[in-house]
Structure formats: C-alpha cells, structure tokens
Amino acid sequence: MTEYLKNYIDQITKRLAECTELSDADDILAEHKDKIAFMQHERIVHFLVTMMFAVIVSIFMCTMLVTDNGLLIVLVTMIIILLVFYIKHYYFLENTVQKMYRIYDDILAKQKQLRDVNK
C-alpha cells in the first residue's frame, strides 16, 4: 500500500503539471476524488484495527500484572511490536490523505486557471 500511494501521488502530481485542457483537469479531479474516498476508508479501517490492538494489549498488560504468568510477557511484547507497526502505517496513511487533500486543492486551482484562460 505504501508503494502504491507513493506512485499514485507522483503520477497525479505529474499529470496535473502537464494538464493543459479543462476536460483533462476534470478527469483528474474525478479520479482523485475516488482515490481520496478509498484512502479515507483504508485509514478508518487501520485506525479501528490499531485501537483494537491497543485495547487488547491493555487487557493483557492488566492480566499480566494480576497473574504471575511469564508467557503473558512474551504475548504482550509481540502485540506491542505489532502495534508499533500498525501505528507507523496509520501515521503514513494519515499524512498521505492530508497530502491528497492538498493535491485536491491544487486540482481545483488548476481548473480555475484553465477556465480563466479559456474566457
């Protein structure tokens, strides 16, 4: 997903820079709105999964404090490591979606510029 998004951002930025027709800008905008919707959904799913793992690790940590089970330390450690990777990926998704919002604004500005040129 990370590589896909990086490639998409590069591609859409290049297409926008080379865009000279209003119809092309309209096509870019429509495609970009769809991608934003997909990434917002992806971001929400990853947020929910991350929160679920945070709750699970909290439950296991509390259980570890109450009981004297050494295996829970291993389990908690594994879940914390997994949680760190989920947080890292969610951070990437959040920043990328915000970057996509800025590109959306750039597309709207490009449309306005092309409309003004065609008047």
Residue 68 Cα distances to 11, 42, 60, 73, 93, angstroms:
55, 39, 12, 10, 39
What percent of the chain is predicted at pLDDT more than 70? Answer: 99
| Mean local confidence (pLDDT), 4-25 | 88
Establish if 42 belongs to a structural domain. Answer: yes
Domain enclosing residue 105, as ranges: 2-12+36-118
For residue 119, pLDDT over 70 is answered with: no
Q: Structural domain tally of the chain? A: 1
Q: Residue 94 burial by CB count (10 A; 0-12/13-18/19+): exposed, middle or buried?
A: middle
Establish if 7 belongs to a structural domain. Answer: yes
Establish if 94 belongs to a structural domain. Answer: yes
Contact yes or no for 40/97 (Cβ under 8 A) = yes
Contact yes or no for 42/100 (Cβ under 8 A) = no
Establish if 30 belongs to a structural domain. Answer: no
Question: What mean pLDDT value characterizes the chain?
Answer: 88
Helices (H), the chain: 2-18, 22-66, 71-118
Q: What is the pLDDT of residue 102?
A: 94
Q: What is the pLDDT of residue 53?
A: 87
Establish if 22 belongs to a structural domain. Answer: no
Establish if 19 belongs to a structural domain. Answer: no
Give the Cα separation of 29 and 103 in Å (integer): 10
Establish if 96 belongs to a structural domain. Answer: yes
Give the Cα separation of 90 and 46 in Å (integer): 6
Establish if 17 belongs to a structural domain. Answer: no
For residue 25, pLDDT over 70 is answered with: yes
| Mean local confidence (pLDDT), 82-97 | 90
| Mean local confidence (pLDDT), 40-67 | 89
